[in-house]
Chain A
Amino acid sequence: DIQMTQSPSTLSASVGDRVTIPCRASQSISSWLAWYQQKPGKAPKLLIYKASSLESGVPSRFSGSGSGTEFTLTISSLQPDDFATYYCQQYNSYPWTFGQGTKVEIK
């Protein structure tokens, strides 16, 4: 199975900050990577797919980059609604696997 690693597990930031969230795959997954946002008590929401494609309706302050084994989710200017947990997920091969998540909290 492909292991997805997210570190740190918690990230403290302020409104307006530029935030980068890294994700690493245990083997190459090309660009078959997605990012999800989850708020407490809610279902995950797809933000980015194919490493850098923005899902319809997602604000343009979110962007994704990377390929192979190293990926990054960037929030260009953190907004109050963005405090949440972010998960990366590989869909290169079955079984599809998620990172353990990075919680973005208020500094």
Chain B
Amino acid sequence: QVQLVESGGGVVQPGRSLRLSCVVSGFTFSSYGMHWVRQAPGKGLEWVAVISYDGSNKKYADSVKGRFTISRDNSKNTVYLQMNSLRAEDTAVYYCAKDLLGGDYRGLFDYWGQGTLVTVSS
């Protein structure tokens, strides 16, 4: 069955960096766009970033543009989120999610990981 497993979360000071990973199984990873979506404690869902099936296209939410970088390694079935210059408002559970449609991406999320908590605090 489809599985997405995030890791790399933790407590980090403002201004520092963190890299999240998401390892997937159960589907042809190299055929699908992949997203990161976050949820601040007690709040709603916010889409963060997307990468196309082959890594050639990427998009970011304005709130993270220039600070976060999404990447993927299709040989390792893994998608990454490099987070730099972290701020208190980046504190959230970060989910990786699979795009429902193959190819680039559609912005529709059919499978999600369990999430990894990032806390930005001094």
Contacts and interface: CB of A to CB of B under 8 A. Distances in A.
A44 interface: yes
A98 B44 contact: yes
Contact of B106 (A43, A55, A91): A91
A93 to B, nearest CB: 8
Interface string A67-99: 000000000000000000001010100111111
Q: Name the interface size band of chain A.
A: 20 to 34
A21 B45 CA distance: 17
A44 B107 contact: no
Interface in B66-106: 95, 100, 106
B114 A95 contact: no
A29 B100 CA distance: 18
A49 B100 contact: yes
Interface in B35-68: 44-47, 59, 61-62
Contacts of A55: 110
A100 B109 contact: no
Contacts of B106: 91
B62 A95 contact: yes
A49 B110 CA distance: 9
Contacts of A11: none
B108 interface: yes
A55 B2 CA distance: 15
A64 interface: no
A45 B46 CA distance: 15
A34 interface: yes
Contact of A95 (B61, B95, B113, B115): B61
B115 A43 contact: yes
B95 A43 contact: yes
A46 interface: yes
Contacts of A36: 45, 109
A87 B97 CA distance: 15
16 contacts: A34-B109, A43-B112, A43-B114, A44-B45, A46-B109, A49-B100, A87-B44, A87-B45, A89-B45, A89-B109, A91-B106, A94-B59, A94-B107, A96-B47, A98-B45, A98-B46
